[in-house]
Amino acid sequence: MDRGKKKKEEEEEEETPKRDGGDPFEFCDVCRLNHDQRPRPPPPLLPLSHVREPGDSVPCCNAINHLASSEHLRNLKGFLRKHGGGVDRIDSFRVSDEELAEWEKACKSLKSAASTSGQGTIGPFSVPLKDIQHEHTSNNMNSFDKHSITSSNSNAYHPVMPLQTLTNESHRLYPQDLSGATGAGSVPYETAAFSVDLQGNTGSARCKQPMQLVNNVKILGGYSLINRTEDQTAPGGSCNGALQKVTQISCAAKGSQQNVHSGALPPWLDANEEKDIGQLNTGQYLNNLTQTGKLKKLNPKRVGAAWAERRRIELEMEKRGERLLNTFDANWLPNFGRVWQAGTRKESKREFETEKRKSIVDDNQPELPFKAQPYISKRARTGSPNRQNADSGCVDDIANNV
């Protein structure tokens, strides 16, 4: 028993570090890990990884300003000195002044573009945007060389699309069909949301770093195809989409292209067409019977009952093809009680028709040119007979005009 205890103690001594002399293990505040004294590569810096955290789609401007600050540089130098990293690589862990100026310029241009476009542009933006989706699909999450802000300049003017997937789900993206899939197409509601967001936050556009969505239409298309189509799912038959597990079923009639999209009739209508014509006729006959049954229930004293009966018979005849369509007069007018009506509706209709005829006649008659004549007083008119004869025409004209 004592030997067993001693062995155990020895094992424990071997396992446990001797903390009396020196520090065999050092706790890293940044990584929150215990490291032994053996040299190890410097751990990735968490402050920068916060910027690219899967949950954050838009890194805060405060983080960028902090990364460009002198305080961060001081901390960084201390960290690298402490953990033995190369001090020459310090620039890859911070934002230089030039990069900061470029970012601010991009923010300004994005803000001005959002304000000048009025309602906000829907679609790609020609400003350098952060490509966070591409970062998640790549294998270089930890190296900041490739994903620094300077790298965004190379993709500055590529057309970009808003995110079509949750960035949390990025690890589930299948890289297959990246070259072939171009089905990103249009996601109108998402683009609208994106533009609305910009429009709504034009005031704080400076604070938000514009997103760069690389030309990953293919990736998105591949993902969307995986999610939606049956052919591109895993062979196991299940589609690991973002939200649901959908089971793939085998398409029984793959050869025939008769489906909803090709405009074919549904099977129940096809089946009906195969029935005898006699059955259809009986169906129609039954319909007529039910209709007449309903009509019998209608009040025969209702408004326009006689008109309705007549019209119904005419429509049935037209359906059977016995009568030509639209045989009524072009000048037909309905029964209408006018506003300034005096008398029955028939009289108002007649009145309107006479007014209409008068207006047509007036339009047809050419307008006589108006002749301006001088005024002749009564005395002058009743004066000399010579004057009377000469001016009678003028007086008549004046009288007519008055």
Kindly state the smallest distance separating residue 354's Cβ from other proteins, in Å.
Answer: 13
Kindly state the smallest distance separating residue 288's Cβ from other proteins, in Å.
Answer: 15
Answer yes or no: are the C-beta atoms of 134 and 151 closer than 8 Å: no
Map the footprint of other proteins across residues 260-299, applying CB under 8 A: 298-299
Give yes or no for residue 332 binding other proteins (CB under 8 A).
yes
Give yes or no for residue 304 binding other proteins (CB under 8 A).
yes
Q: Which string of DSSP letters, residue by residue, matches 232-262?
A: TS-TTSEEE-SS-EEE----S--S---STTT
Distance (Å, whole) CA 172 – CA 226: 11
Give yes or no for residue 307 binding other proteins (CB under 8 A).
yes
Number of shown-chain residues binding other proteins (CB under 8 A) = 28
Distance (Å, whole) CA 294 – CA 289: 9
Kindly list the distances between the CA atom of residue 7 and the CA atoms of 4, 127, 316, 353, 371, in Å, as whole numbers in the listed order.
5, 68, 108, 123, 138
Q: Of the candidates 268, 328, 370, 375, which one interacts with other proteins according to CB under 8 A? A: 328
337 or 366: whose CB is closer to other proteins?
337
Give yes or no for residue 330 binding other proteins (CB under 8 A).
yes
Kindly state the smallest distance separating residue 302's Cβ from other proteins, in Å.
Answer: 5
Kindly state the smallest distance separating residue 319's Cβ from other proteins, in Å.
Answer: 12
The residue whose two tokens read 């949750």 is 166
The alpha carbon of 83 is separated from its chain's Cα centroid by a whole number of angstroms, namely 50
Of 123-131, 179-187, 265-273, 310-318: span binding other proteins (CB under 8 A): 310-318
Give yes or no for residue 243 binding other proteins (CB under 8 A).
no
Distance (Å, whole) CA 54 – CA 171: 10
Give yes or no for residue 320 binding other proteins (CB under 8 A).
no
Distance (Å, whole) CA 18 – CA 29: 21
Which tokens hold the place of 216?
């990953």
Kindly state the smallest distance separating residue 284's Cβ from other proteins, in Å.
Answer: 19
Answer yes or no: are the C-beta atoms of 154 and 215 closer than 8 Å: no
Distance (Å, whole) CA 371 – CA 397: 8
Answer yes or no: are the C-beta atoms of 243 and 168 closer than 8 Å: no
Q: Of the candidates 7, 40, 146, 338, which one interacts with other proteins according to CB under 8 A? A: 338
Give yes or no for residue 352 binding other proteins (CB under 8 A).
yes
270 or 355: whose CB is closer to other proteins?
355
Give yes or no for residue 357 binding other proteins (CB under 8 A).
no
Q: Of the candidates 337, 366, 374, 385, which one interacts with other proteins according to CB under 8 A? A: 337
Q: What is the dihedral of CA 308, 313, 316, 317, to 10 degrees?
A: -140
Answer yes or no: are the C-beta atoms of 195 and 122 closer than 8 Å: yes
Of 78-86, 119-127, 197-205, 348-356: span binding other proteins (CB under 8 A): 348-356
CA atoms within 13 A on the CB side of 316: 12
Kindly state the smallest distance separating residue 246's Cβ from other proteins, in Å.
Answer: 34
200 or 304: whose CB is closer to other proteins?
304
Q: Of the candidates 89, 275, 345, 357, which one interacts with other proteins according to CB under 8 A? A: 345
302 or 378: whose CB is closer to other proteins?
302
Kindly state the smallest distance separating residue 298's Cβ from other proteins, in Å.
Answer: 6
Kindly state the smallest distance separating residue 267's Cβ from other proteins, in Å.
Answer: 29
Environment class of 76 (CB within 10 Å of its CB; exposed 0-12, middle 13-18, buried 19+): buried
Distance (Å, whole) CA 145 – CA 140: 9
Q: Of the candidates 33, 264, 313, 333, which one interacts with other proteins according to CB under 8 A? A: 333
Answer yes or no: are the C-beta atoms of 349 and 333 closer than 8 Å: yes
Quick one: which of 165, 162, 136 has its CA closest to 224? 165
Kindly state the smallest distance separating residue 356's Cβ from other proteins, in Å.
Answer: 7
Map the footprint of other proteins across residues 79-98, applying CB under 8 A: none
Give yes or no for residue 319 binding other proteins (CB under 8 A).
no
Map the footprint of other proteins across residues 177-236, applying CB under 8 A: none
Name the site residues for other proteins (rule: CB under 8 A).
Answer: 298-299, 301-305, 307-308, 311-312, 315, 326, 328, 330, 332-340, 345, 352, 355-356
